[in-house]
Amino acid sequence: MKKKYAKKRDQNKATAKEHMASLLKQAEEIFNKNKTLANRYVKLAREIAMKFKCRFTSEQRRKFCKHCYSFLMPNKNCRVRTRDGMLIHYCLECKNYNRYKYK
Ligand SMILES: [Zn+2]
């Protein structure tokens, strides 16, 4: 199984990216019902990202806190502000700031 993985690495990377995107989408959908499960999806997505050395897109990176990796839902567990052309997400779970460039 592992050898097969090595041969098809590029293909697997594409599959991994799709999987990461779908996990984050599912996390978003489940968040209102089950926050713990949403966080678990984020964790799984990160594990896939690390295993296949994939990066999250900037859009995907904004969906979770980079300190505690909780799924962030504006007005639920995160406060969104803009300042000096930066988008600031204040995570209410771990009380840390996440800053992103604002387009
Ligand atoms: Zn946090």
Per-residue pLDDT band for 21 (boundaries 50, 70, 90) equals very high
Confidence grade of residue 11 (pLDDT, cut at 50, 70, 90) = confident
**Contact predicate 61/31, CB 8 Å:** no
Confidence of residue 79 (pLDDT cuts 50, 70, 90): very high
Q: How far apart are CA 32 and CA 58, in angstroms?
A: 23
Higher-confidence residue of 9 and 82: namely 82
Closest CA to 89 of 55, 64, 59, 57: 64
Predicted local confidence at residue 9, as pLDDT: 73
Cα of 44 from ligand 1 centre, angstroms: 17
Mean pLDDT of the chain: 91
Band of pLDDT at residue 2, cut at 50, 70 and 90 = low
Mean pLDDT value of segment 24-49: 96
Q: How many angstroms separate the alpha carbon of residue 35 from the centre of ligand 1?
A: 13
Instruction: Tell whether the model's pLDDT for residue 28 goes beyond 60.
Output: yes
Q: Is the pLDDT of residue 6 over 90?
A: no
92 Cα: distance to centroid of ligand 1 (angstroms)? 7
11 Cα–ligand 1 center, Å: 33
The pLDDT > 70 percentage for the chain reads 91
